[in-house]
Structure 1
Amino acid sequence: MSGSPVWHPFTQHGLQEPIPCVERAEGARLFTRDGRAIVDGISSWWVTTHGHNHPRIVAAIREQAGLLDQIIFAGWTHEPADTLARALVETMPAPLTRVFFSDSGSTSVEVAVKMALGYWAARGEPRHRIVVMEHGYHGDTVGAMSMGARGVFNRTYAPLLFDVGQIPFPAEGREQATLDALERHCAGADVAALVVEPLALGAGGMLFYAPWVLAEIRAVCARHGVLFVADEVMTGWGRTGTLLACEQAGVVPDLLCLSKGLTGGSLPLAVTMATDALFDAHYDSDRARMFFHSSSYTANPIACAAANANLAIWRDEPVSDRIAALGARQAAHLRTLARLPGVHDARRLGTIVAMEVAGEGGYLSSRAPRMAAAFREAGVLLRPLGDTIYVMPPYCIGDGDLASIYEAIAEAVAG
């Protein structure tokens, strides 16, 4: 790809690192232009659930592309979107009865916050403050950056970011500090919503916390009437071992954000699901009270068709059994890795495995690109978060390919 005009995301082109060209993919493997097979250990940035080019999803995309490619969704509709919305309402917890389409996880979170602010404005209550969790990450648009941890990701754009309240990450043994901080925030009359990644913080370092803490967080919000927004963009669709991470805590959010695995990882699509109370706050004969948000490709028919195929796979196939089996297989590999010198805090939640390796810490750790290069040479796609190595493969991955991922990690740690 030498001389390409492409400006890649999260890539420092000045380092002149090689950028492989992938020509096709199947299952858990990527195939490059130079004839290499690469095992996708991170589901291509956490999106690919059932495997690349799943036949049912590909067939749905192909069929829909020949019928309707795109149509404005403001005041118009189409069958794939209507079918998908009904299926999501049937699949997700009962109070979540309204489905608003968008294009990415970041946008779905911004939609949720705008809905929350609109809800309080409609009620005539001056609630406008958003509370978030330390180390959180909700995307790269300005609103989502404002709700994420301040640091290298967004330091340059600080003048654009709005102020938020923050609660500490509920590390084991320090959970009460998190709950006490949330209680103090919510006791104020101006808090509109809490936005959190349930059970697992992704880009913040694959940090896990206990379901009972999430249940207590939800209870504090409910006690003070603060809207609870669950950013399940990464954790949804089985990554933590259940369809939603919230299930493990027995909680239902007021607003639920879904993307990534919504289409099985095939096409960009997101939804923000809301309760009737949120919808009704914007329901009026006055056009000035409508929900003012959209994008050109809202509810794209082809993306919706892919999502419908994904839900059909969840409905018809033993996806939960595959997830449980993958988690168990990963646990066995993790036990071996955890004994290696230099590996710390080896941990697993569902199909997500993470560990720390000796280094200077931080996202810009100099060891991270060296490890990524070693993985690339070993035929494995892994992208460390600083000194945090994580594995999040498609659910279809075979034993041999899974073993190759952990062998590559062991070699990189030893090296």
Structure 2
Amino acid sequence: MGHRARPGHRQAAGPADDDRCRGPADRPLQPAAMSGAAEPAVVATIDLAAIRHNVALLRQRAGGAAVMVVVKADGYGHGAAECARAALQAGAREVGVATIDEALALRRAGIRAPILAWLHASDAQFRAALEADIALGVSSLAQARAVRAIAATLGRPVRVDLKLDTGLARNGAQAEQWAPIMRELAAAEREGGLRVHGLFSHLARADEPLHPLIDEQAARFRQGVALARRLGLAPTANHLANSAAALTRPDLAFDLVRAGIASYGLSPIPQLGDLGLRPALSLGARIALTKRIGAGDGVSYGHAWTAERAGTVALVPMGYADGLPRALSGRFSVRIGGRRYPAVGRICMDQFLVDLGDNPDGIQAGETATLLGPSALDGTLQGWADELGTISYELATLLRGRTARAYAG
């Protein structure tokens, strides 16, 4: 186990091997037992060695392209700064986030590597980002003009990446806007205020590696790159591939691949298996108490589960306020010691119950119930996602409330 962080706080990993990711946050927090604080009841443990393994695998699949690791949404629930450090140690060249606030938080944590932020509200703080040497994704002419005006006052070139909408119809400039935006950025380059580092786009169906839309989007992207060069730009870090494409479509690597979910060991294409990835997240909670119940006794709200015979249940102090979806009620199990036991009854805001049957191992309060982990007996986020008809990305980002993080590896 690594050090534990209190709920709501992130804890630094050990000192980084690369100066790009050293900073004040590299001072580890004291474990709860040493600081006098109570041990957290629910702990999500992040294996940073798994992060490094996954990034190394992505670098291998990327061929000669560089790797950007995406740590938006607090590192997909794994801890943005800690995972960014691990990724950079494993050879990632850049870090990607959605918002400027996320990027600034990484800078405050001591991450010095290139950071790209690409999703901007109408009042986004472009100046603060550019002053912190954060690259901005530009998706409209208005954004390009705003960045150009600020860049002209800074006295040094700033980096932008132009985002093209090639078929996702989400963030990114539509085709008819490409030329006007490129001319604006080319003029700014001639003034010396900024440099267009790359063009980028996002695939709509990368989790279907043979879907024809992937090739259609790639063709549109190549057209955008060619247009940029005709209009006087010379982008050298063009990027289209996300995790799924990085693992299955090496022909779309271009200069850089953006890897999000795969960096955390979760497969972006579950039907293809793990693809050599190692899940970084484990989740455990200490049992608060055990109690005997009789045949016919109901447990939890609505008595959705009734004991068929007398036995023992364990109370685990984790609920939907901590990121355990209520919809999983009665649909998952936990490992305690070397056995699996079913969770029964409704998941509450703060707790759920486990049926220990006759409790042959004499399980008591204080022992750990493992909900997710690396053992063959443990549950997986993908298993939960399949049960709920959703994706592992969503469930990874739900962990919150009193769920503390610890870092190992």
Structure with bigger RCO (C-alpha 8 Å, 6+ apart): 1
> TM-score, with normalisation over the residues of structure 1?
0.31
More helix by share: 1
